[in-house]
Chain A
Amino acid sequence: MKRLYLLTGLLIVMGLLVTACQPKGPETIKIGLNAELTGGVPVVGASCKNGAELAVEEVNNAGGLEVGGKKYKIELLIEDNEDKAESAAAAAQKLNAAGVLLMIGPNASRNAIPAAEVAEANKMPMISPWSTNPKTTIDAATGQPKKYVMRACFIDDFQGVVAAKFAINELGSKKPAVLYDVASEYNKGIAEIYKKTMEENGIQVVAFETYTTGDKDFSAQLTKIIQSGADSLFLPNYYTEVPLQVQQAHKLGFTGVILGSDSWGATELIDLCGADCEGYFFTTHYAADIATPKAQAFIQAYQAKYGKVPDDVAALTYDAFGLAFQAIQAAGKIDREAVNQALHNVSRYEGVTGVLQFKGTGDPVKSAVVLQIKGGKFVYYTTAQP
């Protein structure tokens, strides 16, 4: 831990040094990106950066964003939050000091929640593309929605219910089990909602096991899960850990069905997991194979630029930028308060991940899809409406 503090301190000092010598550019709009480029979930950061760069490039190639009769180029400032809560807050502070109009990111809830505190305290509008934990947009002290924080995705209160109902109705699970990371907000939040939904439907969760971020051996917990006679296993964990969990479960003789949440949505999951994940399901934000015309245009542009199909993080980041651009134009001036007001005035936005409807809070109401891993690909299975 000592090393962590030292590193964080160094980063903050370096951040101050860097921001101190940034020139002011009045002809551009600065947008900050706070992404998990290194750390536990590097693909999330990479997809987020790709989606952001594509969105900004499209606007800049079209001559810039027209605000109040004048065209502005977009300047993207990218900060790595190392997938650590303290670094995510430091990155938000650094972007704030650099004078960004608004901040997109972070993605993982364990980073988005601390960064949202910084955004709220500094009155800097923030849109998290992928953080589904309710706490991101809720002020912990008052229980009221935060004023400057929004997201482009559904929340876990919805996703957890979708996953639980899917396990009950489609998979016919009678003895569900859960293994989740107790030190990570996202995993913990969704696991608890899953359990609650199960119990509301009269089904008892037979094993509710935990681990801590960075663990690589789950054999003790998985042995307990198998011993409990579980017929399904819910793993609301990140794509770097899920393959280990699935493979260890198989080695220990688990034969039930395994399902997950939107944190599975990186194609790296399939590379790491191989045949072990074949046939399993997860809930997520969009399916590339049933795309609307707008989504198809995005998928084509993304494939042309990066040579692969965009995952949910890339698509949601792209939507977060689309939402931001629309609000900046509606605000008519380069001002945080005006843009924040305009963001909250948006009631409907049609993005590549579907329609986002806002009902007075920073949380959009939107549908979820269930994908299945089939032949090494994510294949659309069904849609769940809110």
Chain B
Amino acid sequence: MQTLIQQVLNALQLGSVYALIALGYTMVYGIITLINFAHGDIFMVSTYVAFFVGTALMSQLLHLPGIVVFVLTMLAAMFATALLAVLIERFAYKPLRQAPRVSAVITALGVGLFLENFTLATIGPDPRFLPKFFPVQTFTVGGVAFSNVQIVIIAVSAVVMLLLDTIVRRTMVGMAMRAVSWDKFTAPLMGVPVDRIISITFAIGASIAAIGGTLFGMVYTVDPYMGIRIGWWAFISAVVGGIGNIRGAMLGGYILGFVEIFTPVILPASTYRDFVAFSLLLVLLIFRPYGILGRPVAQKV
């Protein structure tokens, strides 16, 4: 029983990060039906921004409390990553908006490769840790061990997701996003600035990835290739939940977190992780191609 609770906590930590990154995939797909394969690498860049800003703020003789540095670092990573995503959209994807969809997907793969190798060439391949914003404390309650960092990750992710859900459902920007996603030919006729809404969507998706990146960097190492695997898992999360559906992405993220943790618990080896994850994807694509929470869409001609 204790072990089960322990593993659920482990899965929630991992699932939170997947969910945050899956949101970026799903939002961009929802609005311009593009699978932004560069998103995992945008996440990677965000962890590097967090690493450099965090290290600079901690090492200066500013005597800032750790929690302030943590918030500042996260905000800086969010801002820088949002800017990067908007620039990528403006220069790499916008010129291709009328082109066949596959051209844009290939461009996205290219942007991802560019980000990976640019980081490799300029920063180098060595893995790094983010500085410790606050001392890690481990608690044991009834045989279940958890750390304050783990609680921060799970709680911050939950708050961010609730906030995003509210933005999309209750604000004007959210309504505009849903309008563009619903019908991008009629939305401009109703006075919705489509280009600006698309930029805002990219910016929000990237800043959420940056929140995930900062949280991820607090417990795992940062390296130029980290975005590949995590990007794939987040992409599967988005598809499993129903790509284009925000609540679906969150659900998918947690499902994939549980798949990653419980595969080695139930099956004899962790090697089956990718097998289980991709089988889940395949089965879902066969029986429910629009995902768990997605709705079937009739293709308009």
Q: Which of B6, B126, B264 is close to A42, meaning CB atoms less than 8 Å apart?
A: B126
Asked if A250 is at the interface (CB within 8 A of a chain B CB), the reply is: yes
Q: Are A212 and B125 CB-contacts (below 8 A) given A220-B10, A244-B221, A253-B140?
A: no
Contacts of A253 in B (CB 8 A): 138, 140, 145
Contacts of B113 in A (CB 8 A): 3
Asked if B225 is at the interface (CB within 8 A of a chain A CB), the reply is: yes
Report the bound CA distance from A127 to B283 in whole Å.
48
Query: B216: nearest residue on chain A (CB-CB)?
Result: A216
Query: A227: nearest residue on chain B (CB-CB)?
Result: B3
Q: Are A272 and B127 CB-contacts (below 8 A) given A220-B10, A220-B261, A251-B136?
A: yes
Q: Are A251 and B226 in contact (CB under 8 A)?
A: no
Q: Are A220 and B145 in contact (CB under 8 A)?
A: no
Q: Which of B128, B150, B221, B265 is close to A220, meaning CB atoms less than 8 Å apart?
A: B265
Q: Which of B6, B126, B129, B229 is close to A223, meaning CB atoms less than 8 Å apart?
A: B6
Report the bound CA distance from A254 to B287 in whole Å.
43
Size of the chain B interface, CB-CB below 8 angstroms: 41
Query: A218: nearest residue on chain B (CB-CB)?
Result: B270
Q: Are B271 and A216 in contact (CB under 8 A)?
A: no
Query: B261: nearest residue on chain A (CB-CB)?
Result: A220
Contacts of B264 in A (CB 8 A): 209-210, 220-221, 224
Report the bound CA distance from A175 to B264 in whole Å.
21
Secondary structure dominating the interface of B: helix
Report the bound CA distance from A211 to B13 in whole Å.
18
Report the bound CA distance from A220 to B264 in whole Å.
7
**Looking at B13, B14, B124, B264, which has the most chain A CB atoms within 10 Å of its CB?**
B264
Q: Which of B1-30 contact A (CB under 8 A)?
A: 3, 6-7, 10, 13-14
Report the bound CA distance from A82 to B124 in whole Å.
12
Q: Are B269 and A182 in contact (CB under 8 A)?
A: yes
Report the bound CA distance from A221 to B261 in whole Å.
8
Q: Are B6 and A252 in contact (CB under 8 A)?
A: yes
Q: What 1/0 flags go to B101-125 for Cβ under 8 Å of A?
A: 0000000010001000000100011
Contacts of A215 in B (CB 8 A): 270
Contacts of B150 in A (CB 8 A): 251
Q: Are A217 and B221 in contact (CB under 8 A)?
A: no
Q: List 21 A-B contacts (CB under 8 A).
A: A3-B228, A38-B125, A182-B270, A182-B271, A210-B269, A212-B274, A214-B225, A216-B221, A217-B260, A219-B13, A219-B261, A220-B263, A220-B265, A223-B3, A240-B223, A251-B138, A251-B145, A251-B150, A253-B140, A268-B126, A272-B128
